[in-house]
């Protein structure tokens, strides 16, 4: 079974600075997707970024980018130029051949003005 681990329960960043959120996963599959979801206080689940395992290039979406290390099974999210609106809970997630989405426990990110 696949597992996703987010070992840091909380992080804090100064506004306009850069922060990196860590995620590791375990799988025996070679083809899969990885995601980062954002959950603000409104509790809506918002897709931030996705990465296909067979694509070596790291995904980017504006201020958000990932560092995907397939051999190490690591998938970290970098948020550049942090904004107050980035404060939220962030979940790392995995899906593969069975379409089941497996989540990490999440990390609460706070942004200091």
Partner 1 sequence: NAGVTQTPKFQVLKTGQSMTLQCAQDMNHEYMSWYRQDPGMGLRLIHYSVGAGITDQGEVPNGYNVSRSTTEDFPLRLLSAAPSQTSVYFCASSRTSGGKGTEAFFGQGTRLTVV
C-beta atoms surrounding 35 within 10 Å:
22
Q: Which of 12, 69, 83, 98 binds partner 1 (CB under 8 A)?
A: 98
Choose one: 17-25, 56-64, 66-74, 93-101; the region binding partner 1 (CB under 8 A): 93-101
Q: Is 56 in the site for partner 1 (CB under 8 A)?
A: no
Minimum distance between the CB of residue 93 and partner 1, rounded to whole angstroms?
Answer: 8
CA 49 to chain centre: 7
Query: What is the torsional sign of CA 60, 82, 92, 99?
Result: negative
Q: Between residues 1 and 72, which has the closer beta carbon with respect to partner 1? A: 1
Q: Between residues 54 and 71, which has the closer beta carbon with respect to partner 1? A: 54
Reference 49, options 90, 84, 87; nearest CA is 90
CA 14 to chain centre: 19
Q: What mask, x for binding partner 1 by CB under 8 A, covers residues 1 to 40?
A: -----x--x---------------------xxx-x-----
- Cβ 68 vs Cβ 34: under 8 Å: yes
CA distance linking residue 55 with residue 42, whole number of Å: 33
The residues that touch partner 1, with contacts defined as CB under 8 A, are: 6, 9, 31-33, 35, 43-45, 47, 50, 91, 93, 95-106
């Amino acid at each position: 079974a696949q597992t996703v681990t987010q070992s840091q329960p909380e992080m804090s960043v100064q506004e306009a600075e850069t922060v990196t959120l860590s995620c590791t996963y375990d799988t025996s599959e070679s083809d899969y997707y990885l995601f980062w979801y954002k959950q603000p206080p409104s509790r809506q689940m918002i897709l931030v970024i996705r990465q296909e395992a067979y694509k070596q290039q790291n995904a980017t979406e504006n201020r958000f980018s990932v560092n995907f290390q397939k051999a190490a099974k690591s998938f970290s999210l970098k948020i550049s130029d942090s904004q107050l609106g980035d404060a939220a809970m962030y979940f790392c997630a995995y899906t593969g051949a069975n379409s089941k989405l497996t989540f990490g426990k999440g990390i609460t990110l706070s942004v200091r003005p």
